[in-house]
Each structure stands twice: as structure tokens, then as C-alpha cells.
Amino acid sequence: MTSAAIVSREINFETLMGHTEFRVDPDRAHITVDSDICRDCSVRGCLIACPAQLFVLTSEGGILFNYEQCFECGTCYMVCNEEGAITWTYPEGGHGVVFHRA
């Protein structure tokens, strides 16, 4: 296959996600969200910035987070403007997202 064919090849989101593996650590979330702090946030950048759309606004004004399908990009941590609302660490060895070539 020529390099031009590789560049022009269409790859859609579903194809890419079909080659993505999430090795979830059931005993330790690598991201935790303090919903009490989030209630006072007026920006809520995490709801918009997360590429996997894993942040959800609750009816009480807090934030729920699903770490099981996290891309580990750190975007949520970078856009959060409330000190201590998001705690982000890398998953333990053997856990986390694994990207495979499509």
C-alpha cells in the first residue's frame, strides 16, 4: 500500500474504537470527582472538554464520572477551574486504555 493510499484511507470513530481496549482496575479509579466542589462550579469545562464525554451533570448540580472508558488524556484535569474537584493519576500497571492500530 502506498503512503498516499494510507493517508486517504477513511477511518471512522467506530472503527477506531473497535481497536481500543479498556483494562479497568475494579479496585481503584484513576480519576475521582468531588461532586460537592463541582456544585459550586459555574464553568463546568469537563462536560464539554472530555473527548469521551464521560462527565454527566446530575439533577442536584453535581458531576458524575465514568472512568471505565477514559482515554487518559488529562483534559478534564487541565480545564477544571475548581481546586481539588478532580483527582487524576495514571492507572496502575496493566490497567488503562490500550490503543491498537486499525
84, 61, 41, 37 alpha-carbon torsion, rounded to 10°: -20
Q: In this model, does residue 86 exceed pLDDT 90?
A: yes
The third-level CATH classification (topology) of the domain covering 26-99 is Alpha-Beta Plaits (3.30.70)
Domain ranges of the chain: 26-99
Contacts of 20 (CB under 8 A, 6+ apart): 97, 98, 99, 100
**pLDDT-derived band at 62, boundaries 50, 70, 90:** confident
Greater confidence, 13 or 36?
Answer: 36
Lowest mean pLDDT among 15-29, 45-59, 74-88: 15-29
The whole-number pLDDT of residue 5 equals 53
* Alpha helices by DSSP H, 9-102: 13-18, 35-39, 45-49, 75-79
Note the pLDDT tens digit of each residue in 2-17: 655 555 566 666 666 6
Rounded Cα–Cα distance for residues 58 and 65 (Å): 10
